[in-house]
Structure 1
Amino acid sequence: DLIEELNEDETQKMIGLTEDLAGKWATIRRKQDELNNLDIKLATELNNQQEERDIQVALLDETVIEQSVLEVMLASSDDRKEDLLREIDALDRNVSLMQQKFSGTEVLLSSEQQDLISRIEEDMKEQFRSEEVANFLDMKWPVNPKDGLTAFFIDGGYQKAFGVQHYALDIRSKHGSNIYSPADGVVYDIIYDKDSTRYAYVMIAHRKGVMSLVGHVSGVTVEVGDFVSEGDIIALSGATPGSIGAGVRTTGPHLHFEVWQDGARVDPLKYLPLDEVPVEHLPEEYLAEIQKDLESEIKRLQGELN
């Protein structure tokens, strides 16, 4: 009996130790699971932080690229300074000549009429350069705009989405589409790395101080210094997020198109034929312009018939 009692005690002790050990193992496994979950959480946070850093670096890179574009444009403007000064001097002489011719008529005009003439003169001075060049250069679309436009020059929607103003025109275009030179010119600058997703572009110098830039390009077919004719293939479109040349400020395939006039970005739509764009994609101000052009064309045809 004594032996049986001793065996029973030992058995109970073993059972107790086993249960205690099982509890400790359960605690260890729970702690291990907590550690694993913590590792996963930390790894995720580190990955998110790395992605955020990568985005910030990419944005900084694009900002540096944009700064380099501005520097290129300023240098180009400086190169043309003497030509511009000569043009301004000629314009001043013409204005002086006109003032001399009309100085004798001012006494015949009311103060309201003279004020109106002054306002018209000021408006003409502001608009003369860009409108004169836009009419002179007459660019073609770098890609077919049949699928519409996704962002405009100084676009409030773009600014809300990306936090910066948009001084360009975004044209919807399938990834890898041919990009054509909008006018005759010389390839002035290229930023492109076939192994990098950083923002890529091709810049072309045209006549009359005009330059054009196509951005988010996924491929380049020209080199700096090449002469290109209107309609020559200069690059391939891109902008699919994460693709070669796309940069970070993009949500889908399109072509980013800029026009520069004497070192300042201007509205590309002033240089392009509007009749090729679906009407529903044009801003209201340009619809009125199309209507005016149509009316002028109808009058011209009526005149020919008569």
Structure 2
Amino acid sequence: MEQEKLHQLLEKYHAGQCSDAELEALQQWYESLGGAPEAPHWDVTDDAYLGDQYSLFQQRAMLKPVTNRRRIWKRVAAAAAVIAVSSLLARYFYPLSVTNTRQPVAVVTSHHAPLPPAPDEAVNYDRHLVLPDSSVVLLRAGSTLKLSDSFNQAERLVTLNGEAYFDIRQNARQPFIVRCANVYTYVLGTAFNINTQGKDRQVTITVTSGKVRVERENKIMAVLTKNQELVCRDRQPAIPATLENVTPKVEWMAKDLLFNETSLETICQRLSARYQVNFTFDRAVNKEKRVTITDAFYGTESLNDILDIVCTTLGYTYSVTGNAVTITTL
């Protein structure tokens, strides 16, 4: 029976206005749920109370009791839809003097991320983005990335304000181009970091692998390879520099993936924002359980890579369906 229809029937029953057919419909609904020793489990708690209330219903409705008294109401306790209806039934049949001290049998709790903002909207957290061409971008908090209308057609042009790390899927037919102010970085199959947050419209390109070509005003400024960096300032020559260690330049990517005695709930809150997903926890999962995982992640890992380690360490498991993640016990 649909909840709205049930609601209407209960309104009429409470007012003593149900017809015989409507009373029969209510009885059929109770029987369709499976039957209990004396009562449907409409608040899923107190058997004695339920028996009294169902007897009262039978007296008022002049209906015969359910004949099958041995069936157990496991389906009512396990089905979320029935539990939702049970709270509606309690509104009409549950006296104020009765207090509910037991937990519903089937309960989950969740952290729901809001609808993810577009890459060209600034937010106060780092984001892991997968572009239409399957390239991965780590967009730093406060930064924006705008894809051209023709992205993934003749070329793949994006405009960056702020800082981002790019791990580009190679496609010789569709060059990947990052525009920052008047500086254009042409990707020749690589991973690199670009920071436009310096003073005087400064653009810093740091290559961690592969090769890029940097141009300004249609002139080639430099071709960079692994461990090289170029700092571009207005009206100043740009000279490539070779770095002994590029890690300090990109360590921001894994900052929110350092877990030091961090609760599962906090970890999932971070991952929810970073990967634009919603988390749901099975009732048996202890969200306050803590874990220490440091220096394990570079920052470009997928959500599954992170959850594999976190859940294995805590003794849980998980499943991912679309943007919904469920944490459960083993």
- Give the TM-score normalised by structure 2: 0.20
| Structure with more strand by fraction | 2
- Give the TM-score normalised by structure 1: 0.21
| Structure with more helix by fraction | 1
Question: Of the two, which has the highest radius of gyration?
Answer: 1
